[in-house]
Structure 1
Amino acid sequence: MQALDLPAEQIAAAVGARPFILLALMVISAVGALLGLVVVARLAERHARALWGRGVRAFAALAAHPATRRLSARFPAVARQLRELSAAEYLVIHLGLGLALSAAALVFVALAEGVNGGESIVHIDLALARALHASSSRAGVAALRAVTHLGSGAVLTVVALVVAAALIWRRRRVLAVGWLIALAGGGLLNLALKALFARPRPAFADPHAVAEGWSFPSGHAMGTFITFGMLSYLGVLFVRTLRARLAILALALAWTVAMGFSRMYLGVHYLSDVLAGFAAGTVWLAACISGIEVARRRPSGAGERPLPT
């Protein structure tokens, strides 16, 4: 196993010796993956339009059938919910979020098992952490301390309250409640996961920064992912053009990656801590957005703007 781990450790040490090239590669990879998903979704949408058109016509014919009308009269609540469904809502939103939730959960479980079992990821963590620490500069440490400060609990709390107040002022109560639940629940989930795995933080003789608590998963990475993921979701709700939506998503993703990198550069988290924070954040974010979308379409959510397509 150690012989197989050696190349990965060498690669980790090599990229860690060039930290800001590593940061650029991380951002480019994340944004590139996002754009790739958008392209695939757009291509799939073109081919799916014909099939969906047939499905809509079949659904309309079924709804007009006398038997369906009798059932609708007997179960009005179910009939009302069925009339409100659309392809974009269920196929794109809920199934897409479900896929993201499942994939992220698998990634988190794999990382957790690797960390607990002392597998390859642990050796890669150590090699990368040592290389980043050895190649750090005074200017780099100062810059990334400023970045990491913006992902602290105090700053994210201020952001949470400001956005919640803006949503309440705009009478978007469902969104405001969902926003607060997403951020507060994400913080509590992170604390629970840290206590569950109880992984010590990296240790150096001359640390660039000192952080309290356990290391796995990264609270800054997870909190920033959830916060900017929710901000992106709100941006998509209120912005109409595809170009503007992509810009919002790309900027949020780039900032989130930079936040995770800052925790590794300062030596307070391992690579797997940051990746686990992103994975756990994805699970929680997907669950929250799906729940908000369901709540916004209930009768009590009347007046909330539907998700634009």
Structure 2
Amino acid sequence: MTRFLAARLSPGGELGLHLTAGVVMLVVGVTAFAEIADAVGEGDDIARYDEHVSQWFYQHAFEPLTTFMLGITHLHGIPAMCVLSSLLGLWFWRKGAPYWLLATAIAVPGGMLLNVLLKHVYQRARPAFEEPFLTLATYSFPSGHTAAATLFYGLLASYVVTTSSNWRVRCAAMLGAALMVALVALSRVYLGAHFVSDVLAAMAESAAWLAVCITSVSTLRRRRHARKDQ
């Protein structure tokens, strides 16, 4: 048992610390998403809180904040995120990081597809207002913009954290990613496109999917390197 635990917490090896961290992140993400989804489906207090927050933001909206939030949300729509993800993949290719390129190709498109499937599973209506800032025909839960931002910035931060030896750079990358995801989530709630629970569920869902993708690619890389060393 001690040997097994030591192997799971070892920074090296095919099934070491990276796998343990990935599994923990996956479990936490899935559990958080399930709790939020259950609360929304059962109409618990979170549903009333969602409505209250949405109405508060709608009633207190003002310029130039509204224009700024529209800019943030449009920069993280499907077309923009496809461009950003392609540029990130190209950057990984030019840097000679094929495994990170593979992670990008799997994580972002796969996570966005997963989000669409979840929308059709839960079929939650979006917040309703007399004069909405945005009119969208798709379902609300979970937030696609927030999911895409979590995947993109989470992947970028993961790369920096695993490749940089400077702890200040690592902290800056994690903080920057968290702030960008929070800003995108806030823009969706502020503009009345989503409820708070929609964006929180998107973060949890995407964190879980990102854990699967990065852990799988990392395990593949370690396994191939181990075979070469034999």
Match of 1:124 in 2: 49
Match of 1:273 in 2: 198
| Greater Rg by CA | 1
Residue 64 of structure 2 aligns to a residue whose secondary structure is helix
Match of 2:65 in 1: 140
**Counterpart check, 1:289 vs 2:185:** no
Greater share of helix: 1
**Counterpart check, 1:159 vs 2:77:** no
* 8 Å Cα contact 1:174/1:301 also seen in 2: no
Aligned length: 223
Query: For 1:175-190, what aligned pairs fall within 5 Å after superposition?
Result: 175-190=100-115
TM-score, length-scaled by structure 2: 0.90
* 8 Å Cα contact 1:226/1:282 also seen in 2: yes
Match of 1:210 in 2: 135
Once residues 203 and 152 of structure 1 are traced to their aligned partners in structure 2, the CA distance between those partners, rounded to angstroms, is 21
**Counterpart check, 1:194 vs 2:119:** yes
State the percentage of identical aligned residues: 26
Residue 211 of structure 1 aligns to a residue whose secondary structure is coil
Once the two structures are superposed, what CA deviation does each residue of 1:155-186 show, in whole Å capped at 9, x if it has no partner?
Answer: 11111111111222233222211211001100
Query: For 1:218-257, what aligned pairs fall within 5 Å after superposition?
Result: 218-257=143-182
**Counterpart check, 1:105 vs 2:105:** no
Match of 1:115 in 2: 40
Once the two structures are superposed, what CA deviation does each residue of 1:185-222 show, in whole Å capped at 9, x if it has no partner?
Answer: 00110000001001011110011122231000000111
* 8 Å Cα contact 1:222/1:278 also seen in 2: yes
Alignment RMSD (CA, Å): 2.1
Change beyond 3 A, Cα 1:239–1:215: same
Query: For 1:4-153, what aligned pairs fall within 5 Å after superposition?
Result: 87-89=10-12, 90=15, 92-153=17-78
Q: Which amino acid aligns with 2:50?
A: D
Q: Name the structure, 1 or 2, with higher relative contact order (CA <8 Å, separation 6+).
A: 2
Residue 110 of structure 2 aligns to a residue whose secondary structure is helix
Q: Which amino acid aligns with 1:220?
A: H
TM-score, length-scaled by structure 1: 0.68
Once the two structures are superposed, what CA deviation does each residue of 1:2-55 show, in whole Å capped at 9, x if it has no partner?
Answer: xxxxxxxxxxxxxxxxxxxxxxxxxxxxxxxxxxxxxxxxxxxxxxxxxx9xx7
Residue 11 of structure 2 aligns to a residue whose secondary structure is helix
Aligned-residue offset at 1:136: 0.8
Once residues 151 and 117 of structure 2 are traced to their aligned partners in structure 1, the CA distance between those partners, rounded to angstroms, is 16
Q: Which amino acid aligns with 2:11?
A: A
Match of 1:25 in 2: none
* 8 Å Cα contact 1:222/1:277 also seen in 2: yes
Aligned-residue offset at 1:298: 2.2
Once residues 16 and 226 of structure 2 are traced to their aligned partners in structure 1, the CA distance between those partners, rounded to angstroms, is 21
User: Which 4+ residue blocks in structure 1 deviate beyond 3 angstroms?
Assistant: 89-92, 300-303
Once residues 233 and 136 of structure 1 are traced to their aligned partners in structure 2, the CA distance between those partners, rounded to angstroms, is 34
Aligned-residue offset at 1:238: 2.9
Residue 267 of structure 1 aligns to a residue whose secondary structure is coil
Aligned-residue offset at 1:260: 0.2
* 8 Å Cα contact 1:126/1:270 also seen in 2: yes
Aligned-residue offset at 1:132: 0.9
Q: Which amino acid aligns with 2:41?
A: N
Once residues 225 and 112 of structure 2 are traced to their aligned partners in structure 1, the CA distance between those partners, rounded to angstroms, is 28
Residue 151 of structure 1 aligns to a residue whose secondary structure is coil
